[in-house]
Structures are given as C-alpha cells and as structure tokens.
Amino acid sequence: MNSEDLDRAFERFEAAEDFTVGLEEEFSILDPETLELAPRYEELRAAADADSSVREAVAGELISSEIEIISGPGANLQDAIARQRERRTQVFALATRHGAALGSTGTHPWADYRRQPIIDTEHYRRVEDGLKYVAWRNNTFSLHVHVGCNGIDRAVKVCDRLRPVLPLLLAISANSPYLDGRDSGLHSARTQSFTKSFPRCGIPDAFGGWQEYRDYIEFLIETRSIVEFTQVWWSVRPHFSFGTVEVRICDAQATAQESEALASLMVACIAQAMRDVDEGVPFEHPAPRLVEENMWRAIRFGLDGRMIDLPAAREYRSREAIDRLLDWTEPVRAELGAEPSFPERNGAQRQRAMIDGGASREEVFGASVAETARTYAEGARV
C-alpha cells in the first residue's frame, strides 16, 4: 500500500453513491450431530464455485470453520436485505447438502482455538504471520454493514460522529456469553476476545477529516505497521475498496429477523450521521475514556445493564438504547424505509435465561443453532 492507493481511495469515494448498502454475516460451520466447529470452508467454497447462482454469495474469513454470506452492493437497504435473504437460503441449502450446519452466535461456546486452521489465502497468511496468537485466538463471528458515502472527508466525519453510538449497537447485538467452554460472565465475549485484542481495533480516535486520517494511514505505512488498509480493524472505518462507511461492532445474530433489524438500525445510524454532517448539526466529540466506559458496560452486561448518557453524565437502562437510536434516526429512517423491530430479549439474554434455568452449554447452543436454521434458511421472502 502506498500514496497512490490513498489517491485511488479518494477517487473511489468521490464516485460513491449515498445510501447504497452491503451486508456481511459471519457463520460458524458446524458438525450437525455434535455442534463442534467443522473446518470445511474450502469444501463449501469449492461447491459454491461450481454453482454460478451461489458463487458470489460466500467469502472466507480467518478460520476454516467460518463462512461469510454477503449481499453484494444493494441499491438501497431493501435491495440489500432482499439479496441477502436469497443468498442465505442458497448457502444454507448448500451447507445442508454437504452435511454441515451453520451457527450464528458471536463465539462458539466450547471450541478450542488451537485446533482451528487458518484458511490458506495471501491475506490471511499475512494476518497470521503478523499477529500470531492474536490471530489464532480470534474465533469470532460478527455482522458488518456498509453504506455508500460520497466524499471521503465526509466519510471520516461520519465515522467520528458514530464513535459514541458504537457501544449502544454492541449492547443491542450482544450474543456471546460463552467462550472456551465456560460461561464468561459477559454478554459479548466476542468483543473482549477480538476487539480488545487486535491492534488498531475498537473505538477509533476522532480524526476530524480526511487529511488527518490519511496522515495516520501514511504513518502506519511508513513505519511498516501495515501493508494494507484492512489491517486497520476499527469498529467503524471508511472502506477504501468500496467507498463506504463500514460498521463492524456487532455480534452475529441468532435469528434472521434480528439480523435484519440490527442491520437496518446500523444503516440508519450511518445515514443519520451523514445527514447531521451535511446539515452542520452541532456535535461534541466525547473523550475516548468516556466512550470506553459505555463499551465496557455493553461487553459486560449487554441490554441487562445501564449505559451512560455522556453529555448529561447520567445513567439509563441499556434497553433504552434502542429507543434512543430510533428517535435519533427517525428523520432518515422515513426516507430509507427502515422500521426495525427487536424482540423483548436479545441473544445473550435468551441464552442467559437458559443458563440461569440450569440448561447445559450444549442445550443453550443447540437452541440457538435451531433458531438460526429455522429463520435464516427460510429467508428468501422478498
């Protein structure tokens, strides 16, 4: 990566169209009998490559026991969701034909990370070589959303405004109480395992605009800290390849309905931040140490806890985060046609209710996998 690549990124954002949407959902590949992680991505990838209708629907992630279903660029939110529903149905059917199941929690409850092979691609060989244990340890599954944003200076300012929003989205999405075979006591063990471990990850600094962000990337290049921009793993970032603002803070969701609701809310947050930047709505960037207080509360307690209204320095029930984000995004949601609806309890809360009731980790995970199979596999409803 060099300065010419950054020039091309600038040009890509100049050509980008506002409010295009891309969705990326990461699933664990499982043995359907034991629910153990099954390193079969390469087999499923080969099967997808042989079927032109499925070929563009899947991508690899770090480990061979993971598969990502991607919508590709949708003209708008509804188009992206429709594309994702169709592709989910295809990929779930493909997995079933090949004797595999797919799970959708932020972590696998008991898998041994030491037994999970890294997929053999140039990118992930580079990740493994650069990070070693940090890469090996990252057996996690997430939901990512991309929204087209015309102008890279504007995109950086949108990312800045989304910093205090990220912990709220994480609390809403929390779906990973288990890690390494035990109840972690957390609602999002994925975030503690991945976001708090990877370099250049989590809540970014406020950069103020493209020049400051470019200076940062050039510093990383010149000091040989990175060789490609995707090695900047912030939970919100301008994506140089797509001309999008990407939000990547959330746990994978157990049901298709929750994933679509959460994706709709994430898209609305990005779009509202864009609108606020355009209209010059006053905004005071909170200090990183303050945002981190809410980040920890989201990791530890999810929607069961209390978050902090940072400007007012007052607590509120974490469940209110949903209404707060819906209220803030109401103007742009009307234009996007985004009306997300969330269940009474999120994934972590449902799992914790079973744990408190005496269910085993296998029973808890089995119930989640059944929810996933029932809702994602039936997803081709446009």
Token code pair at residue 339? 């009306």
For the stretch 79-134, pLDDT in tens is: 999 999 999 999 999 999 999 999 999 999 999 999 999 999 999 999 999 999 99
Task: Give the domain CATH number at 27.
Answer: 3.30.590.20
- Number of domains, the chain: 1
For the stretch 45-67, pLDDT in tens is: 999 999 998 999 999 999 999 99
Q: Would you say residue 381 lies in a domain?
A: no
Q: How far apart are CA 199 and CA 130, in angstroms?
A: 11
For the stretch 10-30, pLDDT in tens is: 999 999 999 999 999 999 999
Q: Would you say residue 118 lies in a domain?
A: yes
Dihedral angle, C-alpha 376, 31, 100, 132, nearest 10 °: 90
Residues 44/1, Cβ–Cβ less than 8 Å: no
* Residue 378 confidence (pLDDT): 74
For residue 28, count CB atoms less than 10 angstroms from its CB and return exposed for 0-12, middle for 13-18, buried for 19 or more.
Answer: buried
* Residue 21 confidence (pLDDT): 98
Q: Would you say residue 382 lies in a domain?
A: no
For the stretch 335-353, pLDDT in tens is: 999 999 999 999 999 999 9
Find the length of the chain. Answer: 382
Which residue range forms the structural domain that includes residue 239? 3-376
pTM: 0.96
Q: Would you say residue 271 lies in a domain?
A: yes
Residues 142/251, Cβ–Cβ less than 8 Å: yes
Task: Mark out the alpha helices in 163-255 (DSSP H runs).
Answer: 166-173, 189-190, 210-222
- Longest distance between any two alpha carbons in the chain, whole Å: 58
pLDDT band for 380, please (50, 70, 90 cuts). very low
Q: Would you say residue 113 lies in a domain?
A: yes
Q: Would you say residue 357 lies in a domain?
A: yes
Q: Would you say residue 10 lies in a domain?
A: yes
* Helix, strand, or coil (residue 235): coil
Q: Would you say residue 138 lies in a domain?
A: yes
Q: Is residue 357 pLDDT above 90, yes or no? A: yes
Which helix or strand (DSSP H or E) is residue 70 part of?
A: strand 66-70
